[in-house]
Amino acid sequence: MRTVEHFIGGNAAGGGSRQHDIWDPNSGEVQAKVSLGTGDELQKAVDAALAAQPAWAATNPQKRARVLFEYKRLVEANMDELAALLSSEHGKVLADAAGDVQRGLDVIEFCCGIPHALKGEYTQGAGPGIDVYSMRQPLGVCAGITPFNFPAMIPMWMFGVSIACGNAFILKPSERDPSVPVRLAELMKEAGLPDGILNVVHGDKQMVDAILDHDDIKAVSFVGSTDIAHYVYQRGTENGKRVQAMGGAKNHGIVMPDADLDQVVNDLSGAAFGSAGERCMALPVVVPVGDETADRLRDKMLPAIDALRVGVSTDPDAHYGPVVTKEHKERVENWIQTGVDEGAELVVDGRGFSLQGHENGFFIGPSLFDHVKPGMESYRQEIFGPVLQIVRAKEFEEALALASNHQYGNGVAIFTRNGHAAREFAARVNVGMVGINVPIPVPVAYHTFGGWKRSGFGDTNQHGMEGVKFWTKIKTVTQRWPDGGGDGSNAFVIPTMG
């Protein structure tokens, strides 16, 4: 059986006596193993990074950008391989898997412009004969801890910007689908990145704690569930690290009475159920304003849900595939039962779904709840599955308050033809990323990604210029040059080599 190893110092590396199963979500069978490392493997990666980073930091930004240009070309050339590998371990359909890779590449494209992004500031004549300038310098050795749901995009979001800025990077991907992160590192080596600048170590909490406690790791970026994000932020900052930790989400879609409901239903079909709902920017809560809007929306959603095709990840006609593991399937189904127990109306029940020939796969059909109340635990928590909840609001202010008062503040959307309502909503809602007639408002790579409240811990967001700020430290220089030589004369003398 295939074993996924660590990637340290430019080479595959074994280590760690423990292993973790890598499942095929379509069949429900184990397809590979991944080695779970310890502090020993992490130390090897840190040693390799420390040895390589000074020379990489001294490499001018334009040459670093050329490596990233070549990397972009190689990833594009291997897109089909990467998408198939990602799909086989995660379960998302091939089109979603390719999109996962492409959204990561968007950030790599941004990183190709790193010479411009690293330009500092300059003030001539800040005082008599005094000039002041600033420069951005790399932190040293940095690390990223990434989740299972985007095994290509989120690693590239992290290591792309960090490496472009001159750092060495240690990636700890999810042990559920680790093959694509390793392949991405191999392609970076092929693109010309020096050995030791990008390392991949596998592990569980033991490895996470080792990263958070290691003195030579200066910054950590994390994406995952909220409780773990909070833990990573606390432990990392207590150890003097710079930390950004992105947590869970419960994104709302506000539907105003004037919205184009056909378009809303089409958007919800993809945003709520696409990738089996395993996205922090999914849209699992829809808030129609007024009962008439809610009734019309519900009537239109039912045939749209019925038309959704759940299939194996290689089925080109499938809208979404299985969830990642048996345990996650059980977790989602338990949340559906919780919603029923709390008194929400289960309009469509996706439990018990079985795909012929793949009866042991981790499939869940689409589910729809109506009359969900804000006090319900199934509303308060992130389900992370193909479940859409309708929470009815009487008026705009109530809808605004639902999104603003929720413990999560990652993303939100409003569907309306009214420019004033959209502008008012965008200005007042207490959420980090807003879509106006856009169901999944993930910003483009040259802007920045990050949520508020319990969706994000730390002061700096991911990618864009915020990413550059996170992965660098700023140094400010104040300089004055004397007019004369050491004899106190004012004569201007051109220094000579002699």
Confidence category of residue 169, pLDDT binned at 50, 70, 90: very high
Confidence category of residue 1, pLDDT binned at 50, 70, 90: confident
As a whole number of angstroms, the distance between CA 75 and CA 141 comes to 24
For residue 87, give the 3-state DSSP assignment: helix
**Nearest CA among 324, 333, 265, 261 for reference residue 96:** 324
Tell me the pTM: 0.94
What is the predicted pLDDT for the residue at 16? Answer: 75
Confidence category of residue 17, pLDDT binned at 50, 70, 90: confident
As a whole number of angstroms, the distance between CA 382 and CA 334 comes to 12
260 in Cβ contact with 417 (< 8 Å): yes
Identify the active-site residue in 111, 112, 142, 280: 280
305-343: pLDDT as tens digits? 999 999 999 999 999 999 999 999 999 999 999 999 999
Confidence category of residue 277, pLDDT binned at 50, 70, 90: very high
As a whole number of angstroms, the distance between CA 395 and CA 455 comes to 26
As a whole number of angstroms, the distance between CA 328 and CA 493 comes to 74
What is the predicted pLDDT for the residue at 332? Answer: 98
Q: Which amino acid is at 388?
A: L
Confidence category of residue 488, pLDDT binned at 50, 70, 90: low
Known catalytic membership, residue 280: yes
Specify the pairing of strand 285-288 against strand 387-390: parallel
End-to-end Cα, the chain, rounded Å = 68
What is the predicted pLDDT for the residue at 482? Answer: 86
Domains of the chain and any CATH numbers: 2-247+455-478 (3.40.605.10), 252-436 (3.40.309.10)
What is the predicted pLDDT for the residue at 214? Answer: 98
Given a cut of 70, whether residue 490 has pLDDT beyond it is no
60-86: pLDDT as tens digits? 999 999 999 999 999 999 999 999 999
What is the predicted pLDDT for the residue at 382? Answer: 97
As a whole number of angstroms, the distance between CA 151 and CA 158 comes to 12
Give residue for tokens 């190689």: 74
Number of other residues whose CB lies within 10 A of the CB of residue 352: 9
Confidence category of residue 252, pLDDT binned at 50, 70, 90: very high
- pLDDT > 90 in the chain, percent: 95
90-136: pLDDT as tens digits? 999 999 999 999 999 999 999 999 999 999 999 999 999 999 999 99
As a whole number of angstroms, the distance between CA 483 and CA 291 comes to 79
What is the predicted pLDDT for the residue at 380? Answer: 97
For residue 130, give the 3-state DSSP assignment: strand
The token pair that represents 201 in the structure block: 């170590």
Confidence category of residue 487, pLDDT binned at 50, 70, 90: low
Given a cut of 60, whether residue 493 has pLDDT beyond it is no
As a whole number of angstroms, the distance between CA 304 and CA 490 comes to 83
Mean pLDDT of 242-257: 97
Q: Work out the burial of residue 319: count CB atoms within 10 Å of its CB; fewer than 13 is exposed, 13-18 middle, 19 or more buried.
A: buried
Given a cut of 50, whether residue 498 has pLDDT beyond it is no
Q: Which amino acid is at 431?
A: V
DSSP of 152-200: THHHHHHHHHHHHTT-EEEEE--TTS-HHHHHHHHHHHHTTPPTTSEEE
Given a cut of 50, whether residue 362 has pLDDT beyond it is yes
As a whole number of angstroms, the distance between CA 233 and CA 398 comes to 33
Q: Count how many residues are written for the chain.
A: 498
Mean per-residue pLDDT over the chain, rounded? 95
Number of other residues whose CB lies within 10 A of the CB of residue 140: 18
What is the predicted pLDDT for the residue at 483? Answer: 79
Specify the pairing of strand 198-200 against strand 168-172: parallel
- CB neighbour burial string for 66-100, b if at least 16 within 10 angstroms, e if fewer: ebbebbbebbeebeeebbebbbbbbbbbbebbbbb
Given a cut of 70, whether residue 475 has pLDDT beyond it is yes
